[in-house]
Amino acid sequence: MVGRGEILERMTTVSAPDGPLEALWQGGGVGVTHRRPVLLCPPHPRLGGSMDSAVLAELVWQLARRRHPTLRFNYAGVSASQGSLALPWLPSADAVDLGPLVDDARAALRQLQESTGAREVAIVGVSVGAIVAARLLLEDDAVAAAALVAPPVRGVLGPGDALDAAALAATGAPLVVVIGEDDRSVAAADVRAVCAGLSVVAIPGADHGFVRGLSAAAAAVVTTLSAVDDDDDL
């Protein structure tokens, strides 16, 4: 029995190139009209995260209250997901291939579409997951809105890891970048510079993991995603 104000997530798996990925799914509520489903791309352990991060947990809670089904997952080699870790230790002096992480996220996206019957989904990425989410927004027509939380820029992932703000803006999709003003892993000033021309929301006092400002960060994401009139897309 799910009590008032509680959110029920169920364990599931995603079929991915290197084997099943562990995941958590919630359906956006029973007996209600759902909004667009949301795929959550987690931080990577190389930058201190997984699908169990506090940021993703808060996002699931707030999105579910706004009737968004959600799916969060762990990349290959993380926790119970099969396969091997795809990232080297960070920061990296060499360019890092995020292709395997993008492939994992795309597999989860397809499963979310199949589970909900949705033609379009929204995507949220946290830390390294933000770069993955940005790639999918540019490459996959099924992604209709996005939020990038604490995206690593300026050499963390090696040469050429910066987001292409112009290309992201050109998609015309609703998009928000959320950063912590006190993030010591990803400087807020660097994110503002790289993401010039995009909507950037800075959370006062927040660090990379949003130990402070967690609710405000998630609210900024949910406000952007829920503003999209999506009922006809399901």
- On whether residue 120 sits in a domain, the answer given is yes
Q: Could you state, in chain order, the average pLDDT of each consecutive group of 10 residues for the chain (234 residues)?
A: 67 95 90 85 89 96 94 96 90 88 97 95 96 96 97 82 90 97 93 94 96 97 81 44
In a domain, 1, yes or no: no
| 55 in a structural domain | yes
Half-sphere exposure of residue 129: CA atoms within 13 angstroms, side-chain side: 30
Any domain includes 24: no
Whether 205 maps to a domain, the answer reads yes
* CATH at 217: 3.40.50.1820
pLDDT at residue 231 in the model:
42
DSSP conformation class of 201: E
What's the pLDDT score for residue 30? Answer: 64
- Structure confidence at residue 234 (pLDDT): 45
Residue 106 in any domain: the answer is yes
The CA distances from residue 81 to 12, 39, 41, 46, 47, in Å, are 11, 17, 14, 16, 18
Answer positive or negative: Cα dihedral of 164, 126, 191, 95. negative
In contact, 43 and 53? CB cutoff 8 Å: yes
Q: How many domains does the chain have?
A: 1
Task: Write down the pLDDT at residue 122.
Answer: 98
Residues of the domain holding 223 = 10-18+34-228
